[in-house]
Homo-oligomer: A and B are copies of this chain.
Amino acid sequence: MNIKSVSLATGIPAKTIRYYEEVGLVHPAREANGYRVFSNSDLHKLAFLARARSLGFPVESCRSLLALYEDKDRASADVKALAQRHLNEIDQKLDELTTMRHTLSNLVQSCAGDDRPDCPILSDLAQKMSN
Give residues in A with beta carbon < 8 Å to B: 44, 47-48, 51-52, 54-56, 65, 68-69, 71-77, 79-81, 83-84, 86-87, 90-91, 93-94, 96-98, 100-101, 103-105, 107-108, 111-119, 121-122, 124-130
Contact = CB atoms under 8 A, between A and B. Distances in A.
A114 to B, nearest CB: 6
A111 B77 CA distance: 8
B75 A117 contact: yes
Contacts of A52: 125
Task: Say how many copies of this protein the assembly contains.
Answer: 2
A102 to B, nearest CB: 10
B126 A107 contact: no
Contacts of A54: 100
